[in-house]
Structures are given as C-alpha cells and as structure tokens.
Amino acid sequence: MITYDKRMSTKTVSDGFTQMLSETEDFFAKQGMSVLGNSFSDIITTKSFYEEYVDRLNEGIENPDKKKIWRVLMDNSRATILQEGRS
C-alpha cells in the first residue's frame, strides 16, 4: 500500500520586493493599519498615508526614471481604485 503525505508547504521568498513589502506592512501595522487588509482603503484615501506608502515601496529603486515610472503606476492604480469605489 502506498501512503501519501498531503501537506501543503510554501516556499519562503526572500527577494527585495518581498522584504520591502514586509517592512511597509510592519510600519503601518505599528500604526494599527494593514496594507493588505481592510485598512488599505484608509491608506489609499488619505494623502499623507498614501505618500508614505508610495515612498516606502519606492525605497531601493535607484534609477530616477524607474522611480518616476513606479510613481505613475502607483498614482494610476490609486486613481482607478478610488474611481471604482465611487461607482
């Protein structure tokens, strides 16, 4: 008889983006907010929180052109989220 082990496992990812996202989540968690949970709407709608969120996610991007591109992507995503929230 063959016995199968049916455990799920996840591979720990240790890339730069994962670390940056984790640090950003930790920063907002200290303020009682979650970038991955219900508090995200507070972050996306409050200018100061949003600016901090973008700045933290922008850390480590050395190339100024890539920083600008990232910022445009973030701003466009925010605009879309806010627009969908009004619908």
Q: What is the pLDDT of residue 16?
A: 77
Domain count along the chain:
1
Beta carbons of 36 and 27 less than 8 angstroms apart: no
**Quick check: is 58 in a domain?**
yes
- Report whether pLDDT(72) > 90: yes
Residue 4 to residue 6: CA distance in whole angstroms:
6
Structure-token pair, residue 40: 């995200």
Domain membership of residue 9 (yes or no) is no
Q: Is the distance from CB of 17 to CB of 23 less than 8 angstroms?
A: no
The pLDDT of residue 13: 57
Domain presence at residue 10:
no
* Domain membership of residue 54 as a residue range: 16-86
**Alpha-helical regions (H) of the chain:** 16-29, 40-45, 47-58, 64-86
The pLDDT tens digits for 14-32 are 677 788 788 888 888 888 8
| Model pLDDT for residues 33-42, shown as the tens digit of each residue | 888 777 888 8
Q: What is the pLDDT of residue 28?
A: 86
